[in-house]
Amino acid sequence: MEPENNDVSAQPAGPGGATGSPGSAEAGGTEAGAEAAEGTGPVDAAAPGESPEEAAATLGTIMLAVEELWPESLAEQWDEVGLVAGHPNAPVGRILFAVDPTLEVIEEAVAWGAELLITHHPLLLKGVTSVAANTPKGKAVHRLIESGTALLTVHTNGDSAVGGVSDVLADALGLQDVMPLTPAANGLPEEGIGRVGDLAEVQTLGEFAAKVFGILPSVAGGVRVSGDRDGLVRRVALCGGAGDSLFNEVRASNADVYLTADLRHHPASEAREAAVNDRPYLIDVSHFASEWLWLPAAAEALGNVLGDQGHDVEIRVSTTNSDPWDFILTPG
């Protein structure tokens, strides 16, 4: 499966209250298919002669909608989320969602005419001493500003929120009675990092791994599995993105299998040594792939909120595959 681009138009609600629904666009070539701004004034104000229902969306308007869906209070303390570049009063008619703010993704946003790029991963998670245009980070910042493209980050707040990265992954796998692995310190009981739940029926590890492979976008790394292919699993713990810091919580959840990304050698080896009755089994997937599934759901959710508010905004999911690996060699 290749990640497909999803176009979502945030259409004003009609007499029946219906809003726009997600569509699909072609995936091309090798590509895989905030807090409210202060002092910006009434960002939803209609222009002279324009009814409130037809008011153009501004970046500030969208920041409020993003905060409603993925509150910044849910972000981990070490994280950097929210507005990175852009003026809150700037009008926004097109929004592109992506996993990473790479130069290729930024060029895709500019080429499409997006006034806003919303990415899961931060551009400036670690401090920099320069944004000179002859550095990768600086080149990205310059391109964003010079093209008039705003950048907004929804990272661990998007992981933790209801309907976030791990929720979407759990739903795609058909998990029931889902709850967080680590409850959020400042959120609802159902919010937090990671998820744990039960399959409707017992499956073998091989069958479950095949299901995981089938729902994720195609990337070079594929799916790596540790455990007995014929072992039975029902209780599943998962964390979209890097999750090898959660093994204590996984063991406490009595999960039969743990699905996450970026499993390093030593944490994975130690987890297998500490396994009870060979559980939890481990499934390691691409970081990019595990988080990409959230993008269409996030685009639809934001489109629904903006549509309910009377804003007509085009929202699209990036077709750029920003997984860093291009091919893999395996025995046999």
182-197 residue pLDDT tens: 999 989 999 999 999 9
Contact call for residues 172 and 138 (beta carbons, < 8 A): no
Cα distance from N-terminal residue to C-terminal residue, the chain? 23
**CATH superfamily label, 7-158+291-317:** NIF3 (NGG1p interacting factor 3)-like (3.40.1390.30)
Which amino acid, residue 219? V
For residues 93 and 66, what is the distance between their CA atoms, to the nearest angstrom? 15
Determine whether domain 163-285 maps to CATH 3.40.1390.30.
Answer: yes
| Residue 100 backbone phi and psi in degrees, to 5 | -125, 140
In 7-102, where does DSSP find H-type helix?
59-69
Strands (E), 243-329: 257-261, 281-285, 313-317
Nearest C-alpha neighbor of 320 from the set 1, 25, 3: 3
Give the model's pLDDT for residue 5. 61
| Structure letter (DSSP) for residue 8 | E
Check residue 127 and give its pLDDT: 83
CA-nearest of 222, 253, 221 to 239 is: 253
Give strand ranges (E) for the chain. Answer: 7-10, 82-85, 94-98, 116-119, 150-153, 176-183, 192-204, 223-226, 232-242, 257-261, 281-285, 313-317
Domain assignments of the chain as residue spans, ordered by start: 7-158+291-317, 163-285
| Contact by Cβ (8 Å): 209, 223 | yes
Give this prediction's pTM: 0.84
* pLDDT reported for residue 10: 63
CA atoms within 13 A on the CB side of 61: 27
Residues of the chain with pLDDT under 70: 1-6, 8-55
pLDDT at residue 43, as a whole number:
37
Domains 7-158+291-317 and 163-285 share a fold: yes
Q: Which residues contact 322 (CB under 8 A, 6 or more apart)?
A: 98, 99, 100, 102, 104, 105, 288
